[in-house]
C-alpha cells in the first residue's frame, strides 16, 4: 500500500496500544465509506478510512466528512493530502491513487486528537456525491478475484529499489516496507552466518533483508580491509541467492564522527559498489550511528562518500546516518528540522533512524511520526530492550513501535540475528554451533516476538 503523509498540526501524537472495536460507519450511493477506529488512547486515536467508488470512474477525487465533536482534530494522515477547516475534513488523492474505477477502493487513514467525546464522523461525500450506498457482494464462485500481493522472493517481486517522495519504492513505483534482521559484528559472530542460517532467515523467518554490520573499528575493517570487504561481498551473494536484500552497513560507532573514517569509507564503498553494481539487492548504509558530532559534519561526510558510490553504482539506494546515534538528533536535544532545512545534496537517499524500545518511547515516536511526512526514513537498526542492547524486553513499547512502522510503511532491521549473550539477540547462546535457527527452542523472548512479526505475509504491490 502506498502512503503519503501530511502533517496538519504541531504536536503529532504517537500511536497507542489500546484497541477499540467500532463498527464501520455507513456509506454511499455513488460511494461507500468504511470508517473504523483501530486504536485509541488518552486524547488521541487512529482511524482507517476505506472509500469505494460506486459510480462512474473518476480521475482525481476529494473525500469530505464532518467530525461531530469540536475537540476532534486530524493530526496527520496517509494515502491522501489531508486538511481540516472547522469540523470539515478533506482528503484529496495523491498521484498514485488519483484514478478510481467503478468498484475501486482507496485505503486512507489518519491519527487524530480529541478533547471531549470521540464520535464517528458523518456526511461523507466523494466529489460532492453523498456516500450512502453499499458495495454489492459478488455471487459465490463468481466475480473477479481480489488482487493479492506479488509472489516470489522479495527481490524477485520488487526488483531494483528507489526512493520516491518519502518512500522506498519497488520496480513498479509502489512504496514497500522491507522487514528483516541485522547481523551482529561479523568479526565476532561469523559462525552465525552460514548457508543454514541464511536459509532459515529467508525461508522460515521470511526476512526481506539482511543487514550486514561491518564494524570499522572494534577489531573490524581497519584491521583487514581486504578480508572484511570479501566477507561482506560473500554475504551479499548469499542474500541474493535467497532473494533477500543486502543492506551493507559501514558500522561506525566509536569514534562518533564519521569523518574519522572518511578515507576508509571511500576505499570500501568504491570497492563494494563496483563489485555489486549489477545486483538489484544491494542498499548502502554509509554511517551507522554518528554521535558527538554536528549534523553539518555528518552531511559533509555523506556528500563526499555518496559520489564514490554513484561513480560505480548510480542507481542504488543510499542511507545516511543521522546525529545523536541516528535518532534524527533527538538524543542530542534536536529533531528532524535540522535535516529538513539542510538536507544532503544527493538523490535516491534515505535517512537512518534507530531506537531501542525500552529506552526510546513517546518523544522518539512522535518525532518519527512527524518526520515521516518530510523525509524518507529507514529504521536500519532497532532493539526490543534498552539502548545498551541488554535488559528486559519491553514488549509494549516494541509493539507500539512496530505498529507505527507498519502504519507508516517504514522498513526496519532488528538487532540482532545472533546468539550473542545479550537480551537483544534473537537466538539463545550456543545456537550458532548447531543447525536450528527457527524453532521456538532456540529463540530468545526477543527473537520469538520479532520472528512472529517479520514472518507474516509481505504485501508488495505490483500494479
In a domain, 427, yes or no: yes
- Find the catalytic residue in 289, 336, 338, 422: 289
In a domain, 123, yes or no: yes
DSSP 120-175: PPEEEEETTEE----PPPPPTT-SPPPP----S-HHHHH-S-EEETTEEE-TTS-B
In a domain, 137, yes or no: no
Q: For residues 399 and 427, give the distance between their C-alpha atoms in angstroms, rounded to a whole number.
A: 19
Pairing mode, strands 412-415 and 377-383: parallel
Q: For residues 385 and 425, give the distance between their C-alpha atoms in angstroms, rounded to a whole number.
A: 10
Give Rg (Cα) of the chain.
23
In a domain, 423, yes or no: yes
**Can you count the helices (H) and strands (E) in the chain?**
10, 22
In a domain, 1, yes or no: no
Q: Which cell goes with 44?
A: 488521541
- According to DSSP, residue 95 is labeled G
178 with 290, same domain: the answer is yes
In a domain, 138, yes or no: no
75 with 160, same domain: the answer is no
Grouping H, G, I as helix, E, B as strand and the rest as coil, residue 191 is helix
165 with 99, same domain: the answer is no
Residue 290 has phi, psi (to 5 degrees) of -60, 135
Q: Which cell goes with 457?
A: 505475509
97 with 160, same domain: the answer is no
Choose one of 95, 115, 130: the last residue of a domain: 130
342 with 436, same domain: the answer is yes
We report the CATH number of the domain holding residue 254 as 3.20.20.80
Strand order in the sheet with 81-85: 81-85, 88-92, 62-66, 122-126, 129-130
69 with 121, same domain: the answer is yes
Contact of 37 with 118, CB cutoff 8 Å? yes
Residue 275 has phi, psi (to 5 degrees) of -70, -35
Q: What is the structure's pLDDT at 16?
A: 32
We report the CATH number of the domain holding residue 104 as 2.60.40.290
C-alpha atoms less than 13 angstroms from C-alpha of 195 in its C-beta half-sphere: 1
Q: For residues 251 and 234, give the distance between their C-alpha atoms in angstroms, rounded to a whole number.
A: 17
Closest CA to 248 of 239, 256, 257, 261: 239
Q: For residues 351 and 307, give the distance between their C-alpha atoms in angstroms, rounded to a whole number.
A: 17
Q: What is the structure's pLDDT at 262?
A: 98
Q: What is the structure's pLDDT at 119?
A: 86
Q: What is the structure's pLDDT at 80?
A: 84
Count of domains for the chain = 2
Is 381 noted as a catalytic residue in this protein? yes
In a domain, 135, yes or no: no
Q: Chain-centre distance of CA 226, in angstroms?
A: 32
102 with 193, same domain: the answer is no
| Omega within 30 of 0 (cis) for the link into 138 | no
In a domain, 136, yes or no: no
Q: What is the structure's pLDDT at 147?
A: 38
Q: Cite the beta strand spans of 258-364 per DSSP E.
A: 282-285, 318-320, 349-356
Mean pLDDT by 10 residues, the chain (463 residues): 30 32 42 82 82 84 91 85 93 78 77 87 88 53 43 93 95 96 98 97 97 98 98 98 98 97 98 98 98 98 98 97 98 96 97 97 93 95 96 94 93 98 97 89 95 93 85
397 with 325, same domain: the answer is yes
226 with 365, same domain: the answer is yes
120 with 182, same domain: the answer is no
- According to DSSP, residue 372 is labeled T
Contact of 116 with 69, CB cutoff 8 Å? yes
Ramachandran region of residue 43, left (φ > 0), alpha (ψ -120 to 50) or beta?
A: left
84 with 159, same domain: the answer is no
Q: What is the structure's pLDDT at 95?
A: 66
Contact of 253 with 215, CB cutoff 8 Å? yes
Q: Which domain holds residue 74?
A: 6-130
348 with 427, same domain: the answer is yes
Q: Which residue has the cell 502533517?
A: 7
- Find the catalytic residue in 336, 338, 381, 422: 381
Amino acid at each position: 500500500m502506498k502512503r503519503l503523509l501530511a502533517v496538519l498540526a504541531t504536536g503529532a501524537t504517537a500511536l497507542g496500544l489500546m484497541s477499540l472495536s467500532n463498527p464501520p460507519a455507513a456509506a454511499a450511493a455513488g460511494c461507500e465509506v468504511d470508517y473504523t477506529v483501530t486504536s485509541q488512547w488518552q486524547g488521541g486515536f487512529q482511524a482507517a478510512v476505506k472509500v469505494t467508488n460506486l459510480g462512474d470512474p473518476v480521475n482525481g477525487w476529494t473525500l469530505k466528512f464532518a467530525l461531530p465533536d469540536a475537540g476532534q482534530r486530524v493530526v496527520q494522515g496517509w494515502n491522501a493530502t489531508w486538511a481540516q477547516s472547522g469540523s470539515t475534513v478533506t482528503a484529496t488523492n495523491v498521484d498514485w491513487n488519483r484514478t478510481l474505477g467503478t468498484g475501486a477502493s482507496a485505503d486512507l487513514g489518519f491519527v487524530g486528537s480529541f478533547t471531549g467525546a470521540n464520535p464517528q464522523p458523518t456526511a461523507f461525500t466523494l466529489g460532492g456525491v453523498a456516500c450512502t450506498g453499499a458495495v454489492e457482494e459478488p455471487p459465490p464462485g463468481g466475480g473477479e478475484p481480489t488482487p493479492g500481493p506479488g509472489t516470489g522472493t522479495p527481490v524477485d517481486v520488487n526488483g531494483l529499489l528507489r526512493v520516491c517522495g518519502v518512500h522506498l519504492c519497488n520496480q513498479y513505483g509502489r512504496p514497500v516496507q522491507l522487514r528483516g534482521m541485522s547481523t551482529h559484528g561479523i568479526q565476532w559472530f561469523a559462525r552465525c552466518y552460514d548457508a543454514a542460517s541464511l536459509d532459515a532467515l529467508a525461508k522460515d523467518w521470511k526476512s526481506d533483508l539482511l543487514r550486514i554490520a561491518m564494524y570499522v573499528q572494534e577489531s573490524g575493517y581497519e584491521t583487514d580491509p581486504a578480508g572484511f570487504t570479501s566477507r561482506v561481498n560473500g554475504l551479499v551473494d548469499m542474500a541474493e541467492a535467497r532473494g533477500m536484500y543486502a543492506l551493507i552497513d559501514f558500522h561506525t560507532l566509536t569514534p562518533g564522527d564519521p569523518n574519522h573514517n572518511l578515507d576508509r569509507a571511500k576505499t570500501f564503498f568504491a570497492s563494494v559498489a563496483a563489485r555489486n553494481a549489477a545486483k538489484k539487492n544491494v542498499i548502502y548504509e554509509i554511517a551507522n550511528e554518528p554521535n558527538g558530532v554536528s549534523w553539518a559534519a555528518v552531511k559533509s561526510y555523506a556528500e563526499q562518500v555518496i559520489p564514490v558510490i554513484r561513480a560505480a553504482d548510480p542507481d542504488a539506494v543510499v542511507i545516511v546516518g543521522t546525529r545523536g546515534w541516528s535518532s534524527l538528533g533527538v538524543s542530542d536535544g534536536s529533531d528532524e528540522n535540522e535535516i529538513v532545512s539542510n538536507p544532503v545534496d544527493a538523490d535516491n537517499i534515505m535517512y537512518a533512524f534507530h531506537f531501542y524500545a525500552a529506552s526510546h518511547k513517546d518523544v522518539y515516536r512522535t518525532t518519527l511520526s512527524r518526520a515521516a511526512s518530510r523525509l524518507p526514513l529507514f529504521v536500519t537498526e532497532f532493539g526490543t530492550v534498552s539502548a545498551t542492547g541488554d535488559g528486559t524486553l519491553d514488549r509494549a513499547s516494541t509493539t507500539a513501535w512496530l505498529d507505527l512502522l507498519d502504519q507508516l510503511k517504514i522498513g526496519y532491521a532488528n538487532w540482532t540475528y545472533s546468539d550473542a549473550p545479550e537480551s537483544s539477540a534473537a537466538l539463545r547462546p550456543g545456537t550458532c554451533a548447531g543447525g536450528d535457527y527457527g524453532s521456538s527452542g532456540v529463540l530468545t523472548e526477543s527473537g520469538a516476538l520479532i520472528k512472529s512479526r517479520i514472518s507474516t505475509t509481505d504485501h508488495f504491490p505490483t500494479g
